[in-house]
Structure 1
């Protein structure tokens, strides 16, 4: 990966980091997780994420967040020396896992509107936050791959720093600069917390399973994963209660 390109664009792609066989093994473990942990899939479980189906309007299960405690294969990938070496090169110092999700994006799943991943949670959300994508299925425009907009990360947060998630107006970016992160098995993509991105619906007849790992650098707090998930669960409880949703749990 080129650190120059990373600093200029706010994203980079590395091809062939893993073998297809390694990714297929992780995909098999993702299948096992989906089968064996069906009992965890509930709108009351704060581990689960949901998306509307663009064809039926149904609210369908979309992701487990976190995932590494359910999947040894995903946990191994999250801390694989090859990934950490790539991130160390981008940071210029050691990287630490901060957050981990497995997004299933089944056929029909709606995409995510334009946004930045960094959220101003006081001093608890590191500004070095970045995300690394590991596709378990080939990611392309038909099945709703992530789309990034290079260069805008230089402007920092493009929304109010009030501790809330905000979508960005479409005219925040020049659509002609959009870069779809089309990834084959074994590829990885990295983009910063301030890099605007979005995704379209999965209009294919196949899922777009993707591991979504986030990291921070040593000088920005080091290993903050446990603290992050504690803060994140408390934030989710408050957000759900604002919308009248009570009695949630984490399992």
Structure 2
């Protein structure tokens, strides 16, 4: 089933009462998902909250609970979500939300008394409070705590009027969490060229929180030992913010974006095994900001011995030829480093051999490329910023080097706030092709 058909099926629930509650089935799911978002839950938990009761309508032949929905709707819902191709983390949570209710009926004082009348009636159909054996098994299950969180949102999502995102908000999120989140044609392009442009990976509504988190990073003060801010220019009033790195642990929005299931699954698909985050940065390229010289990433990624890298670029602002969008060399896929200058940027002869294609992007677009793809960008000649996130991943079997990378970079090429006065820094592999000041 396509995402459009799933959303239409959910929209059809807007007039269907939710098993004895004062809301429709659609409203109940939207409220539960909204509560998950406000709680800062991961995307797969948000979608589990949205879809936790699909088993009430997914199988027209299901046995009913005397006007209170389908029996075994937790199991039926989980099976349905697997069948339509959503990620298993979502279906597993949906399949556990009734078990969470039965668990709480035993372990939480007055839980049953606080249930709505309809929910108390369905508890009997669902097996009643758990036995000791069932309690032990459920508590030992890997999704135990997440199932309890989902249950709390389920119980609370029954208000006649509540502020929550509409159904369309979840379209892009659902697409990201499909087991096949990109097409065969896109995979073929990746295999032939080593790069891929995915339009609308994040929706305009979703980009609001990402843009807000980026502005928060941009306006944070320089603090030694924390996030790492680098500038163009020689200092004082001439400095222009170029990039910020090492911020994952300080911005929850970016933690989900960089290490949540959807993007890790995508990167793992392209790497051909489980991916691990290596490093992250936001390049700001403010008005007047300089470009980045033509280079491959591979020569700069040799320090820790990983075999292969893929970089994910998320366009935060619109990327155009006027503001210095990413440019990629038109060539078949490469598997080796090309001739370079001493600073590890590409030689003039190599640059002249390629036709360079500007990749114009909208906010929410992804561009993914492996470490041998030659790329560059021009200066920003517009009056608006061209902010992009770059996150680089390696094969998880090669190890987790993120902490070591930033420790070593801080030592060799520290951010401005940590530099010694009068010292000169040779950035080496930590500043290939970038306009960051060395002083």
**Normalising TM by the smaller chain, what interval?**
0.7 to 0.9
Describe the SS at the equivalent of 1:131. strand
2:232 to 48, 51, 54: 51
Describe the SS at the equivalent of 2:250. coil
Quote the offset at 1:48 in angstroms: 2.1
**Are 2:230 and 1:230 equivalent residues in the alignment?**
no
1:105 to 285, 288, 295: 285
Quote the offset at 1:25 in angstroms: 1.0
Residues 142, 175 of structure 1: CA spacing in aligned structure 2 closer, same or farther, 3 A cutoff?
farther
Quote the offset at 1:93 in angstroms: 1.3
Quote the offset at 1:202 in angstroms: 0.6
What is the root-mean-square deviation of aligned Cα atoms in Å?
3.0
2:275 to 71, 95, 99: 95
Q: Which runs of 5+ in 1 are unaligned?
A: 247-251
Paired residues in the alignment total 234
1:65 to 245, 266, 275: 245
Residues 137, 125 of structure 1: CA spacing in aligned structure 2 closer, same or farther, 3 A cutoff?
farther
Contact 1:91 1:217 in 2 (8 A): yes
User: Distance between the aligned counterparts of 1:139 and 1:51, measured in 2?
Assistant: 20
Query: For 1:114-159, what per-residue CA distance to the aligned partner results, in whole angstroms no more than 9, with x for missing partners?
Result: 1111235656142311211111111111111111114365251224
Contact 2:329 2:354 in 1 (8 A): no
Who is 2:204 aligned against?
Answer: 20
1:183 to 361, 386, 403: 361
Residues 97, 111 of structure 1: CA spacing in aligned structure 2 closer, same or farther, 3 A cutoff?
same
Contact 2:340 2:346 in 1 (8 A): no
**Are 2:348 and 1:170 equivalent residues in the alignment?**
yes
User: Distance between the aligned counterparts of 1:28 and 1:132, measured in 2?
Assistant: 20
Who is 2:424 aligned against?
Answer: 245
Contact 1:67 1:102 in 2 (8 A): no
User: Distance between the aligned counterparts of 2:345 and 2:246, measured in 1?
Assistant: 23
Who is 1:132 aligned against?
Answer: 312
Describe the SS at the equivalent of 2:231. strand
Quote the offset at 1:82 in angstroms: 2.2
Alignment TM-score, normalising by the size of structure 2: 0.48
Q: Which runs of 5+ in 2 are unaligned?
A: 1-181, 426-439
Contact 1:144 1:202 in 2 (8 A): yes
User: Distance between the aligned counterparts of 1:154 and 1:106, measured in 2?
Assistant: 32
Q: Which structure has more helix as a fraction of its residues?
A: 2
The correspondence of residues 147-158 of structure 1 with structure 2, limited to 5 A, is 147-151=327-331, 154-158=334-338
Q: Which of 198-207 and 12-21 deviates more?
A: 12-21
Alignment TM-score, normalising by the size of structure 1: 0.81
